[in-house]
Structure 1
Amino acid sequence: MNVYIYDKTFDGLLTAVFDAYFRKTFPDFLLSEGDALPLFYDELHTVVTDEEKAARVWRGLQKKVSSSALGCLTQCWLSELPDIGIVIFRYIRKAIDAPRSIETNFGDPDVLLLAQIWKKVDGERMHLMQFVRFQKAADGTFFAAFEPQYNALPLTVQHFKDRFADQKWIIYDMKRRYGFYYDLQEVTTISFDDDSREAHLITGMLDESLMDENEKIFQKLWKTYFKAICIKERMNPRKHRKDMPVRYWKYLTEKQK
């Protein structure tokens, strides 16, 4: 039984693939530093992330599977599921060793599992685009926060950049404490901590003193509209929770009291 230790990055995972073929020993467990080791194992190898090795593996994969399959791998990685590293590792190994593409071989448990994970992460991507509610600050910047189940925020950046190309905005993942800021020119990654001057944004809602003078009016109008279109006789709480996951309600304007 072989154990590989890596840094939990995608480049680190690809480097682990390179090392496995170079060493001709393949891991049964792919762990990060500090994870509990199995009680018994034959070999322990620490992977040192190398961008060139990772790039070589990626170029090799490009010859074995389609671009959509490669996109599936990176999107599944964003699920951050506990065993996603070893599942993707096994998929890559099978893709490299197979004489033809494995991406539609859903009889393979790893191919099927990754397809299911991709669907979940993509669903979260769609939810982010549907349920993000921007608040306009006094300086004209639009701010939105949420706590997605999966790390799907990077998958939405291009959408927001295209959709709101003429507006400065910040979209922030409260769960992972990072976000993206668009300044009308480029998108940059940002992070707020408790000691920063932007610490008030950690709550996910703008303080009224920082809002644009018309923001409170528009929020009130939106809440009024939301209540007005609600037909009591047709209310279906179960379907409502299914269509609009409860984890988003905290940051939805129409759900604020």
Structure 2
Amino acid sequence: MLVFRYDKSFDGLLSALFDAYSMRAFPEALIGPGEPEPLFTERVHDVATDEAHAGRVWRGLERRLTARTRSMFVYAWHGEQPQGDLLMLRCLRRVFDEGGGVVADQADPDMKSLFQLALKVSHERERLKQFVRFQKAADGTYFAAVTPEHDALPLAVDYFTDRFADQRWLIYDRRRDCGYYYDGHTARCVTLEDDRGMIADKLADEWLAEDERQFQLLWKNYFRALAIPQRINERQQRRMMPRRYWKHLTEME
């Protein structure tokens, strides 16, 4: 069994595909740094992530796939599915061997799985756009904590920088312990040390701006005033608004 070890980055995966074509040998398993080798491993190839090699692979995809179809691979990457990278490698190989039309082959189990994974991540991105709730901190920064099932936050950052371009904000993914801070000009990925207990589902009262509690109360009253008790459907509510988001929603307190 041939195994490729790479750094678990997207460029690393594209570099692995480049190496596979150069070697004329494709791996049966992909592992990351420090991961044990599978049973019956005969050879391990260490992939060096190379931006030039990754760029050549990506430009090859640009010639074969539309921008929308290429984005499917990016979304699938953020799905963090076990063995998802090996699934993507097999699908990418088919694209290069047979042409971009194979992506539409939903009779192929790999292509179908890739499409379904990308769709799940796309839905997660939309939920982030819908259910992020900012709280105004004492220093004027708007803070929101999220715990998405898939790593969809990087895919939604452009929406928030466009929607809230005149505000400083921080959206923090507590599940992955990283987030994005926007200073009014650019957004950058950050990791915070929770040495003062600030990183939680919601900001503690001592970190809130003076008028934040009042705005939260107004929002709750507005939410309750719009609700029609006779038409409450909790099952439908959970389907459209997954319960894992409720702890971040002011109106669900």
Pairwise TM-score range, normalised by the shorter structure = over 0.9
Shift in alpha-carbon separation, 1:136–1:219, aligned structure 2, 3 A? same
| CA displacement at 1:100 relative to structure 2 | 5.2
State the partner residue of 1:126: 126
Q: How many positions carry a matched residue from both structures?
A: 253
| CA displacement at 1:191 relative to structure 2 | 1.2
Distance (whole Å) between structure 2 residues aligned to residue 55 and residue 116 of structure 1: 26
Conserved? CA contact 1:137–1:143, under 8 Å: yes
Range with bigger deviation, 147-156 or 25-34:
25-34
State the partner residue of 1:218: 215
Distance (whole Å) between structure 2 residues aligned to residue 229 and residue 254 of structure 1: 12
Range with bigger deviation, 34-43 or 234-243:
34-43
| Correspondence list, 1:84-99, <5 A | 84-99=84-99
State the partner residue of 2:185: 185
AA of the residue aligned to 2:212 = E
Distance (whole Å) between structure 1 residues aligned to residue 61 and residue 223 of structure 2: 49
1:105 equivalent to 2:102? Answer no
Distance (whole Å) between structure 2 residues aligned to residue 155 and residue 110 of structure 1: 23
Conserved? CA contact 1:200–1:206, under 8 Å: no
AA of the residue aligned to 2:231 = R
Paired residue secondary structure (1:58): helix
AA of the residue aligned to 1:104 = A
| CA displacement at 1:188 relative to structure 2 | 1.5
Distance (whole Å) between structure 1 residues aligned to residue 90 and residue 100 of structure 2: 16
AA of the residue aligned to 1:201 = M
Percent sequence identity is 45
Unaligned runs of 5+ in 1: none
RMSD: 1.5
State the partner residue of 2:227: 230
Range with bigger deviation, 14-23 or 230-239:
230-239
What TM-score results when the alignment is normalised by the length of structure 1?
0.93
Distance (whole Å) between structure 2 residues aligned to residue 160 and residue 93 of structure 1: 35
4+ runs deviating over 4 angstroms = none
1:115-166: per-residue Cα shift (whole Å, max 9, x none)?
A: 1111100000000000000111122211111100000001111111111111
1:69-104: per-residue Cα shift (whole Å, max 9, x none)?
A: 111101110011111100110111111111453221
State the partner residue of 1:66: 66
Paired residue secondary structure (2:129): helix
Distance (whole Å) between structure 2 residues aligned to residue 237 and residue 26 of structure 1: 49
What TM-score results when the alignment is normalised by the length of structure 2?
0.95
Unaligned runs of 5+ in 2: none
State the partner residue of 1:19: 19
Distance (whole Å) between structure 2 residues aligned to residue 202 and residue 63 of structure 1: 44
| CA displacement at 1:35 relative to structure 2 | 2.9
1:172-211: per-residue Cα shift (whole Å, max 9, x none)?
A: 111111111111111111111233xxx4331132222222
